[in-house]
Amino acid sequence: MNWDHIKADWEIVKGKAKSKWGKLTDDDLKLVGGKWDELVGRVRHHYGYEKDHAEKEVDDFLRKV
């Protein structure tokens, strides 16, 4: 699934993101709003990942969605 599809279906995908990254709050996911860079930033913030690690986590997640 490409990012355009993710943005269009964000209401569905955000539940899966919340399951994967339980530290993300509903407010975080609302602010992400289907934006890849925002999701990477929120994952980095809550999990303390380096940028490359967070990007890989998000990309791996998207491949599985």
Q: Give the integer Cα–Cα distance in Å for 54 and 56.
A: 5
Mean pLDDT of the chain: 92
Q: CA torsion angle for 28, 29, 32, 33 (degrees, to 10)? A: -140
Helix (H), strand (E) counts: the chain: 5, 0
More confident of the two residues 2 and 38: 38
pTM of the model: 0.89
Q: Which amino acid is at 64?
A: K
Q: Provide the pLDDT for residue 32.
A: 93
pLDDT at 1 over 60: no
- The domain defined by 3-64 folds into Protein Yjbj; Chain: A; (1.10.1470)
The terminus-to-terminus CA distance of the chain in angstroms comes to 7
pLDDT tens-digit readout, 2-26: 777 888 888 889 999 999 999 999 9
Share of the chain above pLDDT 90, in %: 71
